[in-house]
Amino acid sequence: MKVLIAEDDAVMADGLTCSLRQAGYVVDCVGTGAEADSALARGGFGLLILDLGLPEMGGLEVLRRLRARKSPLPVLILTARDGVSHRVRGLDLGADDYLAKPFALSELKARVRALARRGGAGVCGLLRHGELSYDQVGNVAEIRGTPLDLSARETDLLEILLQRAGRIVRKEQLVEHLCDWGEEVSANAIEVYVHRLRRKLEAGDVKIVTVRGLGYCLEKPKNS
């Protein structure tokens, strides 16, 4: 699952990012409200961790715009300890949960797990296609109940393809989703990941089909 962190305090942002990456999440981090707003408009996230005190555009405005776009994305807001009015306003605007600073990273991770379990409009939870299933909380893919041995990249790739199962996913979309910001993933590297993942899926009925010139599509037999 991909998490967007919007936090302008670099130390806090680094701590959150490291902690969530260790817990197996793919993390993007932005430092202004404007950047958060445009990242959210592009989509692809399963959870937003939103500091309310952000430069350029406040966290409450980011949240208001997100909900105005009818996004069901789970949102955890971070507030100052004495920020009761902001907290109330955030919850009124559609935040799902809040943490007052300072907080323990273990508590943050527990809140993130809970929000991921609760899910948002198919963004989180269990994805299924044919004999293949993927648990977005535990990051485990299975074919007929047998777990697949996938690398982190292969897992991300599978999640993206499953979220759009039966539809074409363009190679540029994969490049964008697979790179944490600042880390390049080339189109050639995508081909290698697809090749490896395709072989690991051979035990089941789901196939990654190459749509020449366009991208890839996760397909299952017509009768299943």
* Closer residue to Ca ion in complex, CB, 108/161: 108
Provide, rounded to whole angstroms, the least separation between the CB of residue 53 and Ca ion. 4
Provide, rounded to whole angstroms, the least separation between the CB of residue 112 and Ca ion. 19
List the one residue from 8, 97, 135, 191 that touches Ca ion (CB under 5 A): 8
* Closer residue to Ca ion in complex, CB, 5/158: 5
What does the block give as tokens for 157? 């790739």
Q: What is the DSSP letter of 210?
A: E
Segment lying near Ca ion (by CB under 5 A), choices 1-9, 13-21, 125-133, 160-168: 1-9
* Closer residue to Ca ion in complex, CB, 33/215: 33
* Closer residue to Ca ion in complex, CB, 59/215: 59
Angstrom CA distances, 41 to 4, 32, 57, 69, 212, stand at: 12, 14, 15, 9, 28
* Ranges within 42-61 binding Ca ion (CB under 5 A): 51, 53
Q: What is the DSSP letter of 177?
A: H
Size of the site for Ca ion (CB under 5 A): 3
Helices 105-118/10-22 angle, 10° precision: 60
* Closer residue to Ca ion in complex, CB, 51/156: 51
CA atoms of 139 and 152, how far apart (whole Å) = 9
Hey, which bits of 62-187 come out as E strands? 75-79, 97-100, 126-129, 132-135, 140-143, 146-147, 168-170
Provide, rounded to whole angstroms, the least separation between the CB of residue 81 and Ca ion. 13
Site residues (vs Ca ion, CB under 5 A): 8, 51, 53
